[in-house]
Structure 1
Amino acid sequence: MAFSATFSFHGSLADFFPKNNQEPIPYVFKGTPSIKDAIETMGVPHVEVDVILVNNSPVNFTYLLSPNDQVQIYPKNHLPPNRTFVHLIKKFPDFPQFILDVHLGKLARLLRMLGFDALYEKNYTDTQIAEIAFAEVRIVLTRDILLLKRKSIEWGYWLRSKHPKEQLLEVLHYFELQQAFRPFYRCMACNGCIQRVEKKEIVHLLLPETNRFFEEFYQCSQCHNIYWKGSHYEKMESFIKQCTSNS
């Protein structure tokens, strides 16, 4: 016998539906499915669900659906006022570390520029991303909703925009990272840490023009890329200021 319940997705969770639908959605089911399974079947990954109210009472993901349930689902940044909640998204780490899927190389470089630990490899599989995220306590960033539905992933975010700079602002806002910038601490190429290096130690690697006009240098401890404060540095500084003001 089939039963039905009604689901309402609030705030940014409406992004997972055509035309950002925030109208109640009927859900037909048999047996007693968990509310987590129902939510993900409807297209919303568990990692973006912070609060669930069933018939106006808070529940967690293990709740089993009953006929005619009225379900209200909220993201972390859009909660109903004057209520006591069971928060389903655990507190983010004080120093968040990220892992990005294969389509987000440009975003990884931007996060690294701001000093965030952002793992990225072109050949990562979804399984590898999930395993690394679990083992290293990393937040998954992706445009792949199915990836975020993997049970082992505790923290994650589905990027709405396809444009790297807009994606960066999404991440900064969602994870509240405005006070956590450490510009130029990470290598944009490999995610390693950058350290000051004496010019005499790397002078044999410099182009003649660079050797002539610059004295202050930095080097990645992992891939050994060399950095200096040329015109590219001023452009990046300007971009970082924009991120600070827009996030």
Structure 2
Amino acid sequence: MPTLLFTFDASLTPLLPVAQRERPAARAWPEGATLKHAIETFGVPHTEVGAVHVDGHAALLDALLPARGAVAVAGVRAALPDAPLHFLCDAHLGATARLLRMAGFDTAYDNNYADATIEALADTEDWIVLSRDRELLKRRGIRRGAFIRAREPQAQMREIVARFRLAEAARPFSRCLECNAPLRPLSAEEAAASVPPRVRERQHLFSTCDVCRRVYWPGSHWARMNTSLARMLAPHSDDEVDADAVQGPLRQGGARL
């Protein structure tokens, strides 16, 4: 039975059991166990692992455990993911999914998705799964993902932006918050029948969602929402944001065609 000594870098130690955070952990493993299986028994999903070295040599997660040795596990480095750049939020990240859409990122969310459904979508369509459920992220079909440590939506958004280097890729207010579909420009003439008279008098910039037929315009909350979003997209920002602005209805609009 293989006996190995595991060490985890500082970014991963908060995920370990408290008793194993201060010193390397030695364990015996059954024959046929892989590095992925062994690492995940410590509470670290494979989505959080950036590199593994066995006795100083790089190793793949699917490699079988050696008979003995020292295993060093490093966390992922912050980087903009390869295409496709699209996210799948689990049932507990609904508000965060809305923030990602507000920033212009393709983000799937349905609070009825079961874990097996999320895994299947991630496997077949290569979604980046965002979750606070470590057991979900351990599923083999989820190749790209992130364990979100923050609990509040705005803090979660800042964490995701930092983890995936999203600030430069953001395209604020380019997607429908409800449908996730890209918005397209709408002329004032086309929007006239779908917006209140006072809006027609004051606004000239409109966009629409071709899925749900909502029409959007820069209404009274837009500046406040834009400021809040800019703070969440700013590197190393710990500023408080306006919760009403980012969780309420997008006052760029909401009327249906």
Alignment RMSD, CA only? 2.2
SS in 2 for 1:11: coil
Deviates more, 1:11-20 or 1:130-139: 11-20
Q: Deviations over 1:85-122 (max 9, x none)?
A: xxxx9x83245101110111110111111110000011
The DSSP-based 3-state class of the residue aligned with 2:234 is helix
2:100 is paired with a residue whose SS is helix
Q: What does residue 44 of structure 1 align with?
A: 44
Q: Label 1:39 to 1:176 Cα distance change in 2 as closer, same or farther (>3 A).
A: same
User: Residue type of the partner of 1:8?
Assistant: T
Q: Partner of 2:223 in structure 1? A: 234
Moved over 6 A (4+): none
168-177 or 31-40: bigger deviation:
31-40
| 1:6 match | 5
In the alignment, structure 1 segments of 5+ residues that lack a partner are 79-88
Maintained 8 Å contact 1:4/1:28: yes
State the alpha-carbon separation in 2 of the partners of residues 196 and 30 from structure 1: 60
Structure 2, unaligned stretches of length 5 or more?
237-257
Structure 1 Cα separation of the partners of residues 52 and 203 of structure 2 = 57
TM-fit CA distance, 1:209: 3.8
Question: Structure 2 vs 1, CA of residues 69 and 199 (structure 1 numbering), >3 Å: closer, same or farther?
Answer: same
**What residue in structure 2 maps to residue 31 of structure 1?**
31
> Cα deviations across residues 35-81 of structure 1 (Å, max 9, x unaligned)?
11111122111121111111122111233223442111001229xxx
- 1:8 counterpart SS class: strand
Query: TM-score w.r.t. structure 2 length?
Result: 0.83
Partner-residue secondary structure (3-state), 1:61: coil
Q: CA offset at residue 3 of structure 1?
A: 4.9
Cα 1:135–1:95 shift into 2, 3 Å: closer
| Secondary structure in structure 2 of the residue aligned to 1:12 | coil
Please report how far the alpha carbon of residue 185 of structure 1 lies from its aligned counterpart in structure 2 after TM superposition. Answer: 0.9
Once the two structures are superposed, residues 215-243 of structure 1 have per-residue CA deviations (whole angstroms, 9 ceiling, x without a partner) of: 32211121111211112110121123213
Question: Identity of counterpart residues, as a percentage?
Answer: 33
Secondary structure of residue in 1 paired with 2:11: helix
CA contact (8 A) 2:162 2:235 kept: no
Q: 1:199 aligns with which of 178, 188, 208?
A: 188
Say which of 125, 136, 155 aligns to 1:147.
136
Q: What does residue 242 of structure 2 align with?
A: none
2:209 corresponds to: 220
Contact 1:32-1:66 at 8 Å conserved across structures:
no
Correspondence 1:85-124 to 2 at 5 A: 92-124=81-113
Give yes or no for contact 1:7–1:71 (8 Å, CA) kept in 2: yes
